[in-house]
Amino acid sequence: MAGRLVLVGAGHAHLAVLRRLEVFTSRGVRVTVVGPAPVHYYSGMGPGLLAGTYRPEQAGFPVRDMALRRGAQFLEDRVAAVDPESRVLHLAGGGSLPYDAVSFNVGSLVPVSPDWAGHGALFPVKPIENFIAARQAIGRRLAAGKTTVGVVGGGPAGLETACAARGLARRLGRQPEVTLVAGGGLLPGFPPGLRRRAHAALAARGVRLRERERLLAARGEEALLSSGERISCAVLLLAVGVRPPPLFRDSGLPTDSEGALRVNRYLQAPSHPEIFGGGDCIHFTPRPLPRVGVYAVRQNPVLFANLRAFFFGGEPVAFRPQRHFLLAFHLGDGRALVHWRGWIFDGRPGFWLKDRLDRDFLRRFRD
């Protein structure tokens, strides 16, 4: 059956489909990829982009070219709404796009409170290209003398981002003041041994840690914390967790309480078998999953197989998420903190391993 396939978002879970689009286009399926930018940046290297470990061209997938080379159309746009009954997508740019099957990989957003919007140089850690802009903003200020950096969020992204800001300064031969505000503590929910090493890593890098403090307001070059303390931060990075975009809920599709698209073990919306999804934007109903790229990456072959089965027949493949995955936090200076099934190590061997895995991932999916 020929037909129309639309991939919405060219994120981590769509890379295998993108790499093998000719399986569809060579058999008459009209494929359109919709994404806001021609390059998709790999999140695992985001903090490394800030630290200066990687150049942007080392950390991106040229998704527009990957699509065009395989006979698909690429629309540099965003999907703003879905009409699942008439099977039409409405684009932010104004057009509309009919589909026979659609797959969503639109990721997640960092929620930004209006009370923080008055800050002069505010960078949520998603999309990942914000790290490139933040690096330029910090670099410009450091070139002019001293600067201060605030990072909000005590999870892995906050830890990596604070260390990366220090790493960047070291690279440039400067000493900025970096403050990490960790409202729920540092690495909450992670094993005590890992948390101890994370505290030691921050202390060794001179990052000031404010635990059990929340960001109330930010304006100009200053942030107000819940204790009443004001911290100076010429650049403010937000790693306060992620949420699915409102797209699915606003379009009346079945979602979880946060607005993630509900999918079954075939990564397919049970109420609309022509709608698929992967990555941070889905709620995997058989077992809710943490929003980590590991799962998005593992969903690649499942989405490819099931989209192929939708158009050409064959047995669908179920997604079986692994229980354990490696955690590797880049510490901004050629070192990383690694956790694997209770085994923890850090330093240069940790970074060697992380860097190798990240580069392998890029090689595997990039043209």
As a whole number of angstroms, the distance between CA 281 and CA 42 comes to 16
Residues that bind ligand FAD (CB under 6 A): 8-13, 34-36, 40, 43-44, 46-47, 78-79, 105-107, 125-127, 157, 160, 245, 247, 279-281, 291-294, 296
Nearest to 166 by CA among 331, 354, 337: 331
- Give min distance, CB of 59 to ligand FAD, in A: 11
Q: In the structure, how many helices (H) and strands (E) does the chain have?
A: 11, 25
Residue where the block lists tokens 């059956």: 1
- Give min distance, CB of 243 to ligand FAD, in A: 12
| 43 vs 179, beta carbon nearer ligand FAD | 43
Examine residue 127 and say whether the peptide bond preceding it is cis (omega within 30 degrees of 0).
yes
Looking at the DSSP bridge assignments, the partners of residue 89 are: 82, 97
- Give min distance, CB of 34 to ligand FAD, in A: 5
As a whole number of angstroms, the distance between CA 191 and CA 344 comes to 10
- Give min distance, CB of 230 to ligand FAD, in A: 26
As a whole number of angstroms, the distance between CA 282 and CA 332 comes to 31
Looking at the DSSP bridge assignments, the partners of residue 152 are: 181, 238
As a whole number of angstroms, the distance between CA 328 and CA 341 comes to 12
User: Residue 265 corresponds to which tokens in the numbers above?
Assistant: 């073990």
In the chain, the amino acid numbered 283 is H
Check: CB of residue 36 under 8 Å from CB of residue 105: no
- Give min distance, CB of 61 to ligand FAD, in A: 9
- Give min distance, CB of 342 to ligand FAD, in A: 18
| 70 vs 291, beta carbon nearer ligand FAD | 291
- Give min distance, CB of 11 to ligand FAD, in A: 2
Q: In what order do the strands lie in the sheet with 215-220?
A: 118-119, 215-220, 222-225, 230-232
Nearest to 105 by CA among 178, 14, 206: 14
| 154 vs 293, beta carbon nearer ligand FAD | 293
Nearest to 207 by CA among 175, 180, 245: 180
- Give min distance, CB of 123 to ligand FAD, in A: 11
What 3-state DSSP class applies to 275?
strand
The phi, psi pair for 335, rounded to 5°, reads -130, 155
